[in-house]
């Protein structure tokens, strides 16, 4: 049964690590890349676009979902729909901001999942990443709390342990939802 596993969570919570682990251990799942208006990090499965390139792709209908966050633009390509029509399980790094659009566009295919981690661990990960100031980190932590509170009915995965343990939890969730 086709399923779009729509991972959400605060920056630094480990979504890209979880997606990377999924690519290694579950080649039968398709991990979609995002289009982003910034250079990609080594742990991120994305395609860097300029703002102009992004605008052209968006205006020609090449994104099935797009959103803005932190002065960046993000998009998911229309290839997701082709994969879902072929009964694939597709994993994406999504956004809470685009969740209502995803729910409208993908309906029963959509499996929203909130990836979480304890705040102290998240703070340490963000500090180790070295991309944000302490003030920006605290703002991200506040959004992390708000995000968790705003999605009480969404499945949660605690990503505080090993990537393999989190992937095992995600695998159980997908299997339960795909067989339901």
Identify the pLDDT of residue 147: 79
Lowest mean pLDDT segment, chosen from 23-32, 91-100, 125-134: 125-134
Domain architecture of the chain: domains with CATH: 3-179 (3.40.50.300)
| pLDDT bracket for residue 149 (50, 70, 90) | confident
Q: Specify the pLDDT at position 56.
A: 98
16-36 burial, b for 16+ CB within 10 Å, e for fewer?
Answer: bbbbbbbeeebeebbbbbbbb
For the cut 70, the answer to whether the pLDDT of residue 114 exceeds it is yes
Q: What average pLDDT does the chain have? A: 90
108 has a pLDDT exceeding 80? yes
Per-residue confidence (pLDDT) for residue 153, from 0 to 100 = 85
Separation CA 12–CA 117 (nearest Å): 9
Backbone angles phi, psi at 135, to 5 degrees: -65, -45
Give per-residue pLDDT as tens, 5-63. Answer: 999 998 888 898 999 999 999 999 999 999 999 876 655 677 899 999 999 999 999 99
Confidence (pLDDT) at 22: 95
Over the stretch 56-94, which tens digit does the pLDDT of each residue have?
A: 999 999 999 999 987 899 999 999 999 999 999 999 999
């Amino acid at each position: 049964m086709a399923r779009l596993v729509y991972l959400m969570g605060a920056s630094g919570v480990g979504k890209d690590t979880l997606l990377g682990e999924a690519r290694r251990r579950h080649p039968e799942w398709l991990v979609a890349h995002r289009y982003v208006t910034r250079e990609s990090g080594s742990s991120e499965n994305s395609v860097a676009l300029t703002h102009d390139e992004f605008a052209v792709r968006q205006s020609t209908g090449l994104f099935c979902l797009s959103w803005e966050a932190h002065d960046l633009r993000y998009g998911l390509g229309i290839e997701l729909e082709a994969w879902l029509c072929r009964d694939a399980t597709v994993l994406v790094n999504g956004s809470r901001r685009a969740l209502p659009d995803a729910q409208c566009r993908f309906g029963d295919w959509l499996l929203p999942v909130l990836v979480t981690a304890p705040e102290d661990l998240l703070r340490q990960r963000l500090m180790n990443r070295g991309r944000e100031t302490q003030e920006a980190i605290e703002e991200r932590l506040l959004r992390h709390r708000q995000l968790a509170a705003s999605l009480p009915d969404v499945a949660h995965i605690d990503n505080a342990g090993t990537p393999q343990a989190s992937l095992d939890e995600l695998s159980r969730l997908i299997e339960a939802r795909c067989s339901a």
